[in-house]
Amino acid sequence: MQFDRLHEFPIKEFHNVPRGLIGAGAYELVGVEAKNLGFKKTLLMTSGLRGTDIVDDIAGKLRHQGIDVVVFDKVESNPKDYNVMDAYQVYKDEGLDSFVSVGGGSTHDACKGARIVAAHDGRNINEFEGFNQSTNPVNPPHIAISTTAGTGSETSWAYVITDTSDPENPHKYVAFDDRSIATLAICDPILYYDLPTDLTAFCGFDILAHGSEPYVSRLDFPPSLGQAYTAVEWTNKWLRKAVAEPHNYEARTGLMWAHYIAAQAFNSGGLGIVHSISHAVSAFYDSHHGLNNAIALPHVWEYNLSARYERYAHLAKAMGVETKGLSTVQRAEAAVEAAIRLADDVGIPKNFKEVGEYSKNRMNEGVYEGKGRQIKGDENDVERISKHILGDSCTPGNPMEVTYERMKPVVRAALSGSR
Ligand SMILES: [Fe+2]
């Protein structure tokens, strides 16, 4: 076992994180910070943040410092390749020099992609799938402001894009690229107050996945373990409260820190097949990343358990389980039970087939139009999702070996089984 791990990941790699401004009021510094970074004409990217005045507020702060702002508000959830290319086109046509992304992971990811495209004379974003595929180290500067506690994209080297070049077989991929990291990350819990409660819950499970996956990963990166554990602990501690009381400052702040450090944990510590399943379901149904993680997570913990009993036993404690008197295996099993309890408490659907309407739901819009709003969960889904998992950049980090045949029952259970 030890030999296998040495063979697979002989050298650990630390990936940088950008400078960050974190805390209540941090976003108000965006104008001054942009000016200090030399922004003159910037592309403000967003999904629109309907129902809030956050975009106008931030554009105003930039303009107040004499910076021209062009708003691109067409980023979709699970950003598509064409979102990235359209944003780049506006950046180029308007002669801009910098980027500001305001939103959750989709907006930051599309923005990171647009910067990579800008640094490579408009080459198609899908050419950069994989690890460090960009060749030009000089990107336009980028301030990333998060309006959700979940993604961590503002501080990570990852961005996730859906390749729609074959509409019958869309492919959602992760690009890990040291050159994609933002210039400045801004996290401000006040901006989360507008996040609907269902999305708060979904994003919370993105944090739980970002924390737990590096904690058990084959990469086994020691500097990530403390952050990963604390992220799980704080998510469990604050998520119920943030869902119950969206304007609870302590809960929103607790989740902000959990999100920030969880992303830094996986940045060098890797992810696993909670994310691989999640990407596959989004590729085919455009469903919310955090929602997918939330449904997949207990099944994946269960699947991985015997490969990492001890680590999952630690996570039981982080999940608030009273572990005194329990064996390691019992504690590990209790971690799964605690994750299920959390999912139940914050209103996560039991399986993918039970996913109904939720806030800002985009399922089956755009390129997916006309395919129906429900996740089918039939054997065709089981097969295509299991296949998609095998090609995901997050899969090699998973502690338990992943094969097509072994994935099928896990995927089947997540699609239509009980937790
Ligand atoms: Fe994620």
Distance in angstroms (rounded) separating the CA atoms of residues 99 and 111 = 7
* Tens digits of residue pLDDT in 151-207: 999 999 999 999 999 988 999 999 999 999 999 999 999 999 989 999 999 999 999
The CA 20 to ligand 1 mean position distance, Å, reads 19
Q: Specify whether 117 is located in the same domain as 200.
A: no
More confident of the two residues 361 and 306: 306
Give yes or no for a contact between 254 and 234, defined as CB atoms under 8 angstroms apart: yes
Q: Specify whether 142 is located in the same domain as 245.
A: no
- Candidates 188, 153, 190; CA nearest to 45 is 153
pLDDT of residue 371: 57
Give the CATH number for residue 202.
1.20.1090.10
Helix (H) or strand (E) holding 70: strand 68-72
Q: Specify whether 111 is located in the same domain as 158.
A: yes
- Candidates 102, 105, 68, 107; CA nearest to 84 is 107
Phi, psi of 71 (to 5 degrees): -95, 130
The CA 210 to ligand 1 mean position distance, Å, reads 6
Q: Specify whether 224 is located in the same domain as 186.
A: no
pTM for this entry: 0.95
The CA 31 to ligand 1 mean position distance, Å, reads 29
Q: Averaged over 37-44, what is the pLDDT? A: 98
Q: Averaged over 12-19, what is the pLDDT? A: 96
The CA 223 to ligand 1 mean position distance, Å, reads 20
Q: Residue 237, SS3?
A: helix
The CA 277 to ligand 1 mean position distance, Å, reads 11
* Tens digits of residue pLDDT in 375-388: 999 999 999 999 99
Band (246; pLDDT cuts 50, 70, 90): very high
Q: What is the residue range of 221's domain? A: 196-416
Q: Is the pLDDT of residue 349 over 70?
A: yes
Q: Is the pLDDT of residue 2 over 60?
A: no
Beta strand 158-163 with 98-103 is unpaired
Distance in angstroms (rounded) separating the CA atoms of residues 277 and 388 = 8
Give the CATH number for residue 31.
3.40.50.1970
* Residue 53: CB atoms within 10 Å: 10
Q: Specify whether 249 is located in the same domain as 162.
A: no
Q: Averaged over 222-230, what is the pLDDT? A: 98
pLDDT of residue 366: 56
Give yes or no for a contact between 145 and 191, defined as CB atoms under 8 angstroms apart: yes
Domain count along the chain = 2
Distance in angstroms (rounded) separating the CA atoms of residues 272 and 174 = 12
Domain boundary residue among 192, 208, 231? 192
The CA 143 to ligand 1 mean position distance, Å, reads 20
Q: Is the pLDDT of residue 5 over 50?
A: no
Mean pLDDT of the chain: 94
pLDDT of residue 7: 55
Q: Averaged over 119-141, what is the pLDDT? A: 96
Q: Specify whether 41 is located in the same domain as 183.
A: yes
The CA 307 to ligand 1 mean position distance, Å, reads 22
Q: Specify whether 233 is located in the same domain as 381.
A: yes
Would 249 be classed as within a structural domain?
A: yes
Would 4 be classed as within a structural domain?
A: no
